[in-house]
Structure 1
Amino acid sequence: MKPATLWVALTSLLLLAACSKQPQWTLFYYPDIKMPDIKKPDIKKPDIKMSDIDKPDAGKPEIQPQLTEQPDRYHAIAGYYQTLQQCQDKGRGMQRLNEGKGSFECGHNCRLDDRDMIICDQWHNNGP
Structure 2
Amino acid sequence: MGFIRIFLLGLFVSSLTACTQNPEWTLFYYADTKDIPHEAKLSEHISGYYATSKHCLLKGAGMAKLSESGIGSYQCGHLCVAIEGKALSCEKFIDKLEL
TM-score, structure 1 as length reference:
0.61
Q: Is residue 108 of structure 1 aligned with residue 83 of structure 2?
A: no
Q: Comparing both structures, which one devotes a greater share of its residues to helix?
A: 2
Q: State the 1:3 CA deviation.
A: 5.1
Name the CA distance, whole Å, in 2 between partners of 1:114 and 1:71.
16
Instruction: Give the gaps of 5 or more residues in structure 1.
Output: 37-68
Shift of 1:72: 2.2
Match of 2:31 in 1: 31
1:67-90 Cα deviation digits (max 9, x unpaired): xx5112111111111111110001
SS in 2 for 1:94: helix
Spell out structure 1 runs of 4+ moving beyond 4 A: none
Structure 2 unaligned runs (5+)? none
Letter of the 1:78 partner, please give it: S
| Corresponding position: 1:76 with 2:77 | no
TM-score where L is the length of structure 2: 0.77
Q: Which has the higher contact order (CA 8 A, sep 6+)?
A: 1
Is the CA contact 1:26–1:108 (under 8 Å) kept in the aligned structure 2? yes
CA distance in 1, matches of 2:78, 2:16: 22
Cα root mean square deviation, aligned: 2.1
Q: Which residue of 1 aligns with 2:15?
A: 16
TM-superposition CA deviations, 1:30-54 (whole Å, max 9, x none): 0133124xxxxxxxxxxxxxxxxxx
Residue 61 of structure 1 corresponds to none
Identity in percent: 30
Structural mapping, 1:21-100, within 5 Å: 21-33=21-33, 34-36=35-37, 69-98=38-67, 99-100=69-70
Instruction: Give the distance between the partners of 2:83 and 2:28, measured in 1 at CA.
Output: 17
Query: How far apart in 2 are the matches of 1:125 and 1:72?
Result: 17
Larger Rg over CA atoms:
1
